[in-house]
Structure 1
Amino acid sequence: MSDEIFFAEDDEVEVQFHGTWKVLIVDDEPEIHAVTKLALGDFVFQDKRIEFISVFSGAEAKKAFMEHDDISVVLLDVVMETDDAGLIVANFIRNEIDNHFTRIILRTGQPGQAPERDVIVNYDINDYKSKTELTAQKLFSVVIAALRSYHDINVIEENRKGLEKVIAASADIFTLQSFESFIEGIVQQLSSLLGGTKDVAYLTSAVMGPKPINQYHSTELFVFTGKGEYKNKEGLRLEQVISGPQLSSCMLAYANKSLIYEDEYMVAYCDSKSKRGSLLYLSGLPSKLSQNDKKLIELFSRNVQIAFDNILFNKELQETQQEVIERLGQALEQCSEHGRHILRIVKISQILAREIGLSKEESETLGLAVPLHDIGKIKIPENILAKSEKLTPEEIEVIRQHADFGYDLLKDSTRPLIKAAALIARDHHEYWDGNGYPRGKSGESIHIYCRITSLADAYDVMRHKNSYQDALSAEESLRLVIEQKGKQFDPTLVRILEENINKIEEVITLYPDF
Structure 2
Amino acid sequence: MKDCESMKEKLNLDNIKLDFLSEDSKPKLKTKENYKIMIADDYDEIHVITKMMLKDFEFEGKGLEFIDTYTGEDTIKALEENPDTAVLFLDVVMEDNHSGLNVVEVLRGRLDNKMTRIVLRTGQPGQAPEETVIRDYDINDYRLKTEMTAKRLYTTLYSALRNYRDLYQINTHKNGLKKIIKTSANLFEHNSLNEFLTSILVQLSNFQKNNPEIVYIRDDVDKEGGFVTIEKNKKATIVAATGKFKSYIGKDIDLVSELKEVVDKIKYSDTPDEKIIFVDSGFIIKNNAKNSFNNYIYIEGNNDIYDFDLIHLFLTNYSVALDNYILNNTIVNTQKEIIITFGEVVENHFEETSGHVKRISEMMYNFALLLNFSHSEAEILKMASMMHDIGKIAIPDSILKKPGKLTEEEFEIIKTHPSVGYKIFEKSDLDMLKISANLALNHHEKYDGSGYPNGLKEEEILLEARMLSIIDVFDAMTHKRVYKDAFSTEEALDYIRNQKGKHFDPELVDIFISNIEGILDID
Same fold (TM over 0.5): yes
The CA deviation at 1:172 is 8.9
CA distance in 1, matches of 2:165, 2:178: 20
Distance in 2 separating the partners of 1:396 and 1:319: 37
The Cα of 1:87 is off from its aligned counterpart by 0.7
Q: Cα gap change, 1:236/1:79 in structure 2, threshold over 3 Å: closer, same or farther? A: farther
Q: Of the two, which has the highest radius of gyration?
A: 2
* Aligned-pair CA distance for 1:97: 2.5
Instruction: Between 19-28 and 116-125, report the one with greater CA deviation.
Output: 19-28
Q: Is the CA contact (8 Å cut-off) linking 2:208 and 2:305 kept in structure 1?
A: no
Q: How has the CA–CA distance of structure 1 residues 133 and 420 changed in structure 2, closer, same or farther, with 3 Å as cutoff?
A: same
Deviation of residue 124 (structure 1)?
0.7
Greater mean deviation of Cα atoms: 158-167 or 49-58:
158-167
2:75 to 61, 70, 74: 61
- In the aligned structure 1, how far is the partner of 2:171 from the partner of 2:405? 72
The DSSP-based 3-state class of the residue aligned with 1:378 is helix
Q: Which of 323, 326, 336 is matched with 1:322 structurally?
A: 336
Aligned partners of 2:402, 2:215: CA distance in 1, in Å?
69
What is the CA distance between 1:191 and its match in structure 2? 7.1
Which residue matches 1:96? 110
Matches within 5 A, 1:69-80: 69-80=83-94
Deviation at 1:88, TM superposition (A): 0.6
Q: 1:281 to 1:121 in 2, by over 3 A?
A: farther
Cα deviation, 1:225-246, whole Å, max 9, x if unaligned, reads xxxxxxxx8996899xxxxxxx
Picking from 508, 511, 520, the partner of 1:508 is: 520
Measure, in 2, the Cα distance between the counterparts of 1:317 and 1:94: 52
Counterpart contact for 1:204–1:276, Cα < 8 Å: no
Q: Distance in 2 between matches of 1:238 and 1:128?
A: 62
Taking the aligned partners of 2:167 and 2:43, their CA distance within structure 1 comes to 31
Q: Which stretch of the first structure deviates more once superposed, 98-107 or 145-154?
A: 145-154
3-state SS, counterpart of residue 96 of structure 1? coil
Please tell me whether residue 414 in structure 1 is matched to residue 414 in structure 2: no
Pair 1:146 & 2:160 matched? yes
Greater shift after overlay, 163-172 or 132-141? Answer: 163-172
Distance 1:399 1:417, change over 3 A: same
**What is the aligned counterpart of 1:457 among 456, 462, 472?**
472
> 2:292 aligned with 1:269, yes or no?
no
Residue 438 (structure 1) aligns with: 453
Matched to 1:32, the amino acid is I
Q: Which digits, 9 at most, give the CA deviation of each residue in 1:410-444, with x for residues without a partner?
A: 12223343222212101111001111112222222
Equivalent residue number for residue 392 of structure 2:
377
| Aligned residue number for residue 4 of structure 1 | none
Task: Name the SS of the counterpart of 1:205 in structure 2.
Answer: strand
2:293 is aligned with 1:278: no
The amino acid that maps onto 1:493 is L
Q: Answer whether contact 1:368 1:417 (CA < 8 A) is retained.
A: yes
Q: Would the alpha carbon gap of residues 431 and 137 (structure 1) be closer, same or farther in structure 2, given more than 3 Å must change?
A: same
8 Å CA contact retained: 1:221, 1:237: no
Structure 2 match to 1:156: 170
Whether contact under 8 Å (1:26, 1:77) holds in the other structure is: yes
SS at structure 1 position matched to 2:115: coil
Change beyond 3 A, Cα 1:37–1:317: farther
Paired with 2:279 and 2:156, the residues of 1 have a C-alpha distance of: 33
Q: Which residue of 2 aligns with 1:351?
A: 369
Paired residues of 2:286 and 2:294 also in contact (CA < 8 A): no
Equivalent in the alignment of 2:228: 205
Moved more, 68-77 or 359-368: 359-368
**C-alpha separation in 2, matches of 1:77 and 1:262:** 51
Deviations 1:141-186 (CA, angstroms, capped at 9, x unpaired): 4334333322322332333344445567778975549x99x97999
CA deviations on 1:275-298 (whole Å, 9 max, x unpaired) are: 3223578956489x9xxx88x977
Does residue 482 (structure 1) correspond to residue 497 (structure 2)? The answer is yes
Matched AA of 1:276: N
Change in 2 beyond 3 A, CA 1:154/1:496: farther
Counterpart of 2:26?
Answer: none
Q: Which SS does the other structure have where 2:501 is aligned? A: coil
Q: Are residues 1:21 and 2:44 paired?
A: no
Distance 1:54 1:101, change over 3 A: same
Contact 1:78–1:86 (Cα < 8 Å) also in 2: yes
List gaps (5 residues or longer) in structure 2. 1-28, 217-223, 231-235, 250-258
CA spacing shift, 1:51–1:343, aligned 2, 3 Å:
farther
- 1:261, distance to aligned residue in structure 2 (A): 5.9
Partner letter of residue 368 of structure 2?
A: Q
Contact (CA 8 Å) 1:338, 1:466: kept in 2 or not? no
Distance 1:238 1:137 in 2: 62
* CA positional deviation for 1:198: 8.4
Distance 2:506 2:70 in 1: 64
**Partners of 1:166 and 1:495 in 2: how far apart?**
43
Tell me whether 1:219 sits opposite 2:238 in the alignment.
yes
Q: What is the CA distance between 1:460 and its match in structure 2?
A: 4.8
CA gap 1:222/1:70 in 2 versus in 1, 3 angstroms: farther
**1:106 Cα offset (Å):** 1.9
SS of 1:219's equivalent in the other structure is: strand
What amino acid is the match of 1:451?
R
Change (3 A) 1:147 1:322: farther
The separation in 2 between residues aligned to 1:156 and 1:188, in whole angstroms, is 22
1:198-221: CA deviation from partner (whole Å, max 9, x where unpaired): 89x9966268xxxxxxxxx94266
Q: For residues 309 and 163 of structure 1, what CA distance do their matches in structure 2 show?
A: 22
Identity of aligned residues (%): 36
Distance (Å, rounded) in 2 between the aligned partners of 1:282 and 1:121: 49
| Partners of 2:282 and 2:298 within 8 A in 1 | no
Deviation at 1:63, TM superposition (A): 2.3
Mean Cα displacement is larger for which, 316-325 or 88-97? 316-325
Residue type matched to 2:336 in 1?
A: Q
Range moving further from structure 2, 68-77 or 301-310 = 301-310
Deviation at 1:262, TM superposition (A): 8.8
User: Could you say which residue in structure 1 is the equivalent of 2:359?
Assistant: 341
The answer to whether the 8 Å contact 2:90/2:100 transfers is: yes
Rounded to whole Å, the distance in 1 between the matches of 2:151 and 2:488 is 86
The letter for the 1-side match of 2:134 is I
C-alpha spacing 1:313/1:337, structure 2 compared with 1 (3 Å): closer
- Counterpart-to-counterpart distance in 2, 1:480 and 1:368: 27
Q: Which amino acid aligns with 2:372?
A: R
After TM superposition, give the deviation of residue 402 of structure 1 in Å.
1.9
Aligned AA for 1:205?
V
Q: Deviations over 1:490-514 (max 9, x none)?
A: 234335446xx34x532422x14xx
Letter in structure 2 aligned against 1:411? E
Show structure 1 runs of 5+ residues with no match.
1-14, 208-216, 224-232, 240-246
Partners of 1:280 and 1:236 lie apart in 2 by 13
Residues 183, 112 of structure 1: alpha-carbon distance in 2 compared, 3 angstrom cutoff: farther
The residue number in structure 2 matching 1:309 is 323
Q: Write the distance in 2 (CA, Å) between the matches of 1:505 and 1:430.
A: 26
